[in-house]
Amino acid sequence: MTQLDTAPATEPMTAERAVAVVTDFFDRYRERDVVAMTDLCTDNADFSYTPFEVWAKQRVVRGDGKVRTIGRVIWSGLINAFPDLGNTIFNIDGNDNGDVVVACDITGTQQSAWGFIAPQGKYFAEPHLFILHVDEDGLIDTIKAYWDNAGVNRQLGHFEVD
């Protein structure tokens, strides 16, 4: 028998397997363990927090890129600003292609600045929709998220005027 013959075969993707990986990811999110969240993703996993945008004097930072660069920075910043950052999953559904959709609330109490939002000690709970993909190796290779950023700002007492 060759080395290739003795290596364990990759499990076939099932909806249950994909949902289990994503459930583990959200468990690590609740624990605020950015390293463990990242470890559940491929090295080159795509990341898109569509509503995320922070304006600075010379540039705009958007929530699009890779998990190991943009994603880690955003998650770490959120955890720093909202030390009790959490999530409550209302629905999670997947298919045998590795696609998983999560409807949840992201919650937290702001303790330090987040972007241009000064801390007022206010709590937010905002519905989010996550669309993820789990590859055949059981790792997340795509994370997309959508939410009402104006709703978060309003709950934190931040009102922009153009």
List pLDDT tens digits, range 45-55: 999 999 888 77
Rounded to two decimals, the pTM is: 0.89
pLDDT number for residue 7: 41
Q: What is the share, in percent, of the chain residues with pLDDT greater than 70?
A: 92
For residue 54, give the 3-state DSSP assignment. strand
Q: Is the pLDDT of residue 36 over 60?
A: yes
Name the DSSP letter for residue 152: H
**pLDDT tens digits along 108-158:** 999 999 988 999 999 999 999 999 999 999 999 999 999 999 999 999 999
Task: Identify which of 19, 16, 54 has the alpha carbon closest to the alpha carbon of residue 130.
Answer: 19
Report in angstroms the alpha-carbon separations of 159 from 35, 38, 43. Answer: 33, 33, 37
